[in-house]
Amino acid sequence: MTTPSLSIAPRDKAEILAQALPYIRKFHGKTMVIKYGGNAMTDPELQADFAEDVVLLKLVGINPVVVHGGGPQIENALKRLGKEGKFVQGMRVTDSETMEVVEWVLAGEVQQDIVGLINQAGGKAVGLTGRDGGLIRAQKLKLKDNKDPSVEHDVGQVGDILSIDPSVVKALQDDAFIPVVSPIGFGENNESYNINADVVASKLATVLQAEKLMLLTNIPGVLDKQGQLLTELTSRQIDELIEDGTISGGMLPKLAGAIDAAKSGVNAVHIVDGRVPHAMLLEILTDTAYGTMIRSY
């Protein structure tokens, strides 16, 4: 059976490339931070699409930086150990035993899979954690209750980012490498912290003065109460959606980070459906919206 890509006439392929050219020119030399997660990380075809997209971006002169999650993989590892994952306001409760699992799953299994996929697709990827080059310094997160700020939840070794030193990322970019970052930070006593990957991606995008922050998810984007896609949101509108319960759970840290990045100078923040093949390229190199764009105002 002929695949759709092979059935495109040469003239149409040339037209598609010509339409991408203005975007390639616009973003040449710019940094794009990509939070990689959801189905795109677990479906073999989507994994291959993602790796190809990242390599293509690098080849046309754009600088991708990948920050990955690994929630399902961590959950599976904990189950094998007979341990049940717990969450508070979208944050994983991380005791010392869970932290050990988080480190070997994220910095070992998951990161090396991503590095291997990108290298197989023709790129040169290098894996990093927050320890490498002093990339992510963190402290214990003080998680205030959404409804009662006087209440503080203890979520264990979950980190709040103190600072990001992007020197090692920039050095890799300058040498044509593609950095792949695991969201693990370190504290003043060399302790490890599990940090929400959306938060790491957002802070890193801000520090690197990225052109775009792309957050790949398992949904089309932010949905209203009727399940309809909201293609563009401001920080005020997001506050209203949180207040009325439309937005909750794991979407909370994602949107908090997105707003923070948008307010801190990242030109565009996109929540994109990672289940769509080549969704990232479609968002970057066409004028069609494939998710929700977050604006600061």
Spell out where 37-177 has E strands: 63-68, 87-88, 91-92, 125-128, 136-140, 143-144, 152-153, 159-164
Interatomic CA distance for residues 285 and 102, integer angstroms: 35
pLDDT at position 259:
84
Domain range annotation of the chain: 30-295
pLDDT in tens, 245-265: 777 777 777 788 888 888 888
Query: What pTM was computed for the model?
Result: 0.88
CA distances from 36 to 59, 67, 158, 273 (A): 19, 6, 20, 11
Whether residue 97 contacts residue 105, with contact meaning beta carbons closer than 8 Å, is answered with: no
pLDDT at position 16:
73
CATH number given to 30-295: 3.40.1160.10
Residues in binding site: 70-71, 92, 194
pLDDT at position 223:
82
Residues of the chain with pLDDT under 70: 1-8, 13, 289, 296-297
Residues in binding site for substrate: 70-71, 92, 194
Q: Which amino acid is at 32?
A: M
Share the mean pLDDT of the chain: 88
